[in-house]
Amino acid sequence: MEIPAIVGAGLVVIGAGIGIGRIGGSAMDAIARQPEAYGKIQTAMLIAAALIEGIGFAALFAV
């Protein structure tokens, strides 16, 4: 593996972590504002986090 590929993979992992963290934080804010919408918010959050993690996982295997 070459150095640019390793750096790129690291950036993908960092970006995925930041993205999932922002999704979680935003979901907590939304639940605090509308507790009755907890189920819908949680479902949307889990789907979005899974998609982001899947992209990050695929990017690691592309290296």
What are the respective helix, strand and coil percentages of the chain, to the nearest 5? 95, 0, 5
Judge whether 19 lies within some domain.
yes
Judge whether 55 lies within some domain.
yes
pTM above 0.85, yes or no: no
Judge whether 31 lies within some domain.
yes
Judge whether 4 lies within some domain.
no
Judge whether 1 lies within some domain.
no
- Tokens 């390793």, located at residue: 6
User: pLDDT-derived band of residue 60, with 50, 70 and 90 as boundaries?
Assistant: confident
The 10s digit of each residue's pLDDT in 1-59 is 689 888 988 899 899 999 999 999 999 999 999 999 999 999 999 999 999 999 888 88
Question: Domain total for the chain?
Answer: 1
Judge whether 2 lies within some domain.
no
Judge whether 47 lies within some domain.
yes
pLDDT at 49: 95
Q: What are the C-alpha distances in Å from 21 to residues 3, 10, 41? A: 27, 17, 15
User: CB of 51 within 8 A of CB of 23?
Assistant: no
- Which of 25 and 62 is assigned the larger pLDDT? 25
Show the domain range for 47: 9-62
